[in-house]
Homo-oligomer: A and B are copies of this chain.
Amino acid sequence: MNKIFQEDIRRFLREDAPGGDLTSAAVFTPEQRGGARFVSRQEMIVAGMEKVAAQVFLFLEPDCEVSGLSDGKRVMAGDVLLEVKGTVANLLLAERLALNLVQRLCGIATLTNRFVELVKGLPVKIVDTRKTTPGLRSLEKYAVRVGGGHNHRFSLTDGILVKDNHIAACGSIAEAVKKIKNFVPHTLRIEVETETLDQVEECLAAGVDIIMLDNMEPEMMTKAVKLINGRAIVEASGGITLKNVRAVAQCGVDIISLGCLTHSAPACDISMII
């Protein structure tokens, strides 16, 4: 959340206090200063203390003192995640937004990390999807990386994913791929979604760069990986959970993409103590 995204902080704060914080305005003088700590209430992977939470405090009070744990660190319940000294009114005004952001980011990093740990030792990457919170994609994709995962495309502009509708419109995978290759930047690989081994073969014949195996059973997936045999990057997608992720990884795929990393990670429990 560098300077480019500071505008978002402003918008979010305005949402949370369109006419200011009335309770604090009634009680505190503008000079009253204090210190606050973010304390973890559970085991988690830390994400966003310095890059996000601290920026909210600094936005409101550029000369407040604030420091936080490094991204990617594993902490336990009771650990201090961030310390900040500033005006009490500002600390309380920043509190909820900063927490709302990092509780989500730590939640994503922590869930990502559980998947990463489960496939440890296997040559596979855990990646996210476009199933992110509208308005927070950059931050959420950052949290996935903090958790040890990798990013899939950031938007419809920077990745090519050919689905059944595209194929239907062109008549065949070969035709679709040809049309797309002739159109899109040479800097982008072309990925095609498949559901059958026949489609996988069509992809190989068409020179597809990445083959997505969508919602396939492990058995079929293993066959597909053998068929592809290194001629394309293989991505597994659909129906993958903490329970079956290792089995999927053992099919030999290169990439496992998971919407749940960003759309269903429960928030981590963090509280601020003044």
Q: Min CB distance, A21 to chain B, in Å?
A: 4
Interface residues of A in 121-169 (CB under 8 A from B): 125, 127, 130-138, 141, 145, 150-162, 164-166, 169
A19 lies within 8 A of B138 (CB): yes
A103 interface hit (Cβ, 8 Å) = yes
Q: How large is the interface on A (under 10, 10 to 19, 20 to 34, 35 or more residues)?
A: 35 or more
Interface residues of A in 10-31 (CB under 8 A from B): 10-28
A3 interface hit (Cβ, 8 Å) = yes
Kindly list 13 other residue pairs between chains A and B, CB separation below 8 angstroms, not including A19-B154, A127-B186, A153-B185.
Answer: A6-B10, A15-B155, A17-B155, A26-B179, A27-B162, A27-B176, A34-B165, A99-B131, A103-B263, A104-B263, A158-B187, A188-B189, A259-B267
Taking beta carbons and an 8 Å cutoff, which residues of A are in contact with B?
Answer: 2-4, 6-8, 10-28, 32, 34, 59-60, 88, 92-93, 96-97, 99-101, 103-104, 107, 125, 127, 130-138, 141, 145, 150-162, 164-166, 169-170, 176, 179-180, 182-189, 191, 210, 233, 235, 254-255, 259-260, 263-264, 266-267, 274
